[in-house]
Structure 1
Amino acid sequence: MVTQKAVNPADGVGIAYRVLGDGPPLVLAHGTALSSAIWRAFGYVAALREQFTLILPDMRGHGRSDKPHEPASYAMDLVVGDILAVLDEVGHERAHYLGYSFGARVGLSLAVAAPHRLRTLTAGGGSSRPQAGSFDKLFFPGCIDVLDHEGMTAFLDRWNAHRPWPLDPATRAAFAANDTRALVAYLRRSEQEPGIPDDALGSLTVPTQLFVGAEDRPRLSDTERLGALIPDSRLAVIDGFDHATTVAAAPEVLAVVRPFLEAH
């Protein structure tokens, strides 16, 4: 599986991506501080590659993509442009899209900005709300300053102490692999995101599947709200998982996602 790069024409940032499988195109977009490697590690690639052409981008600032250190480089319109640049590079006018957490926020924004590029939207653990304070709720209060001034090890230790059960080794390793300066820039810019207007979500016509972990306290209500706003959307609440662990629960997620994709 060869890593390639697409360039966002708006600012020249290179977005690493991989393509594998066979069938209709499906973009898999990961969450904060992770990379496209999670889709293989958690079993999504093995489960989906026979049915879909999987397009696996590393979001800007993550994985093998370029990692600017300026917060302005992480504006949502630029990140949406990254996904469009990858689709253009691989020659697909329209694709299915599955995103988790940050990837879900990008997918929702993409569906509003360029609905004609999506066959379907699947958004897990996402939010359309203004993002100020969201990372303090997801991780722990003051998390960005801890990462900025004390480093990744202190961030992970503090996050682990705030969780009801310990961080799994794979998530810890994925976070530790990040460029800390780029991640801080991304987090600080994300805190400024105004969110997506309710009327824009209420006008969406892209077939939409939503899912969220039942123990995902920060995002359960946000996802339920999305379900109320997006016309004809489906909502699945997956028992036994929080925000960090839902995406790792591939069998449970795919039991929701696969029938939805097959129906479209």
Structure 2
Amino acid sequence: MRQAVNPHDGVRLAWEEHGNRAGEPLLLVHGSALSKAVWRGMGYVKALGVDYRIITMDLRGHGRSDKPGQATDYEMERVLLDVQAVLDAAELPAAHYFGYSFGARIGFSLGVSAPERMLSFVSAAGTYRIFAGSIAELFFPDYDTALAAEGMRGFVAGWEARIGHPVDPVTRMAFMSNDPVALRAYFAQTEAGEGISEQDLADFSVPTLLLAGTLDTRRLADSRRAVELMPDARLLELPGRDHGDTLFPPAEVLAAVEPFLAAHN
């Protein structure tokens, strides 16, 4: 495991390198309450590492990165500096960017603020907008109470009750590694932040592939709107998939992502 440091606030960020060291660089960025380990656990590192130099990172508040406890520590401006600090530590002026959920939201913001750092952008279950109640919609209404009272065990139990089946082992392991205090702060800022505007989308210069499950209705609607506005974007709708299973199983996703990346090498 390697470390990068955010130059603004000194937060340390865990990252790793995998795959073909001579290949084009590809940064994989996970979603809320997950970690860089999910990309390996779900098979993406192995599949994409044949052709690409894979960089995975733990977002602040997640995995083995630092876990500050104030909501303002998770402002998007700081997270964007985190991503660029990891690219700098890997000595990469730019990379392909593949983000899931909140990782995709970061990608939208990075494409507006620093498009020169992105060779292409894959958004999986992402949105350019922010809306109140999004965390409760994704997980369950009393998630904050569960985190405060019972920590990660209570959070996972509440989510499993909401979805009606056990969380897969890879996701469970990633969730259980979180610090509940940091995660509450992260969730609070996630809903308090701002998205990017439709004008920003119209000016978005990075080639983009949008992936959304047909059961992930809000992200699907946002992705449909985004592809109408963005000058170089296309959308793949994933039949029968909801937000939580957008990435797994990976075969259908990889069948779209691999040719997209190859076309923008």
Q: SS of the counterpart of 1:123? A: strand
Instruction: Kindly indicate whether the alpha-carbon contact (under 8 Å) linking 1:25 and 1:55 is maintained by their aligned counterparts in 2.
Output: yes
Aligned position for 1:122: 122
Aligned residue-pair number: 262
Deviation for aligned residue 1:152: 2.0
Counterpart amino acid of residue 91 in structure 2 = G
In the alignment, the residues of structure 1 paired with residue 229 and residue 167 of structure 2 have an alpha-carbon distance, to the nearest angstrom, of 33
Instruction: Kindly indicate whether the alpha-carbon contact (under 8 Å) linking 2:100 and 2:125 is maintained by their aligned counterparts in 1.
Output: yes
Aligned position for 1:24: 24
Instruction: Kindly indicate whether the alpha-carbon contact (under 8 Å) linking 1:99 and 1:122 is maintained by their aligned counterparts in 2.
Output: yes
In the alignment, the residues of structure 2 paired with residue 50 and residue 168 of structure 1 have an alpha-carbon distance, to the nearest angstrom, of 26
Is 1:87 the counterpart of 2:87 in the alignment? yes
Deviation for aligned residue 1:101: 0.2
Q: SS of the counterpart of 2:126? A: coil
Q: SS of the counterpart of 1:20? A: strand
Deviation for aligned residue 1:227: 1.8
Instruction: Kindly indicate whether the alpha-carbon contact (under 8 Å) linking 2:19 and 2:46 is maintained by their aligned counterparts in 1.
Output: no
In the alignment, the residues of structure 2 paired with residue 207 and residue 191 of structure 1 have an alpha-carbon distance, to the nearest angstrom, of 27
In the alignment, the residues of structure 2 paired with residue 75 and residue 249 of structure 1 have an alpha-carbon distance, to the nearest angstrom, of 32
In the alignment, the residues of structure 1 paired with residue 18 and residue 176 of structure 2 have an alpha-carbon distance, to the nearest angstrom, of 27
Instruction: Kindly indicate whether the alpha-carbon contact (under 8 Å) linking 1:131 and 1:193 is maintained by their aligned counterparts in 2.
Output: no
Counterpart amino acid of residue 198 in structure 1 = E
- The Cα RMSD (Å) is 1.3
Aligned position for 1:54: 54
Counterpart amino acid of residue 13 in structure 2 = I
Aligned position for 1:262: 262
Matches within 5 A, 1:131-210: 131-163=131-163, 165-210=165-210
Instruction: Kindly indicate whether the alpha-carbon contact (under 8 Å) linking 2:152 and 2:179 is maintained by their aligned counterparts in 1.
Output: no
In the alignment, the residues of structure 2 paired with residue 15 and residue 123 of structure 1 have an alpha-carbon distance, to the nearest angstrom, of 22
Aligned position for 1:41: 41
- Could you list the per-position Cα deviations for residues 182-208 of structure 1 after superposition, in whole angstroms to 9, with x for gaps in the alignment? 111100111101211111111011100
In the alignment, the residues of structure 2 paired with residue 174 and residue 230 of structure 1 have an alpha-carbon distance, to the nearest angstrom, of 33
Counterpart amino acid of residue 14 in structure 1 = R
Aligned position for 1:10: 8
- Taking every aligned residue pair, what percent have the same amino acid on both sides? 47
- Could you list the per-position Cα deviations for residues 236-263 of structure 1 after superposition, in whole angstroms to 9, with x for gaps in the alignment? 0111221111122211111110010011
Q: SS of the counterpart of 2:65? A: coil
Q: Which runs of 5+ in 1 are unaligned?
A: none
Instruction: Kindly indicate whether the alpha-carbon contact (under 8 Å) linking 1:131 and 1:190 is maintained by their aligned counterparts in 2.
Output: no
State TM-score, norm by structure 1.
0.95
Q: SS of the counterpart of 2:121? A: strand
In the alignment, the residues of structure 2 paired with residue 73 and residue 13 of structure 1 have an alpha-carbon distance, to the nearest angstrom, of 9
Q: Which runs of 5+ in 2 are unaligned?
A: none
Deviation for aligned residue 1:131: 3.6
Instruction: Kindly indicate whether the alpha-carbon contact (under 8 Å) linking 1:17 and 1:55 is maintained by their aligned counterparts in 2.
Output: yes
Counterpart amino acid of residue 217 in structure 1 = T
In the alignment, the residues of structure 1 paired with residue 232 and residue 120 of structure 2 have an alpha-carbon distance, to the nearest angstrom, of 12
Q: SS of the counterpart of 2:245? A: helix
Deviation for aligned residue 1:164: 5.1
Q: SS of the counterpart of 2:192? A: coil
In the alignment, the residues of structure 1 paired with residue 29 and residue 262 of structure 2 have an alpha-carbon distance, to the nearest angstrom, of 19
Aligned position for 2:246: 246
- Could you list the per-position Cα deviations for residues 203-244 of structure 1 after superposition, in whole angstroms to 9, with x for gaps in the alignment? 011100000112223422222222222222010011122111
In the alignment, the residues of structure 2 paired with residue 120 and residue 243 of structure 1 have an alpha-carbon distance, to the nearest angstrom, of 22
Instruction: Kindly indicate whether the alpha-carbon contact (under 8 Å) linking 2:18 and 2:55 is maintained by their aligned counterparts in 1.
Output: yes
Matches within 5 A, 1:58-69: 58-69=58-69
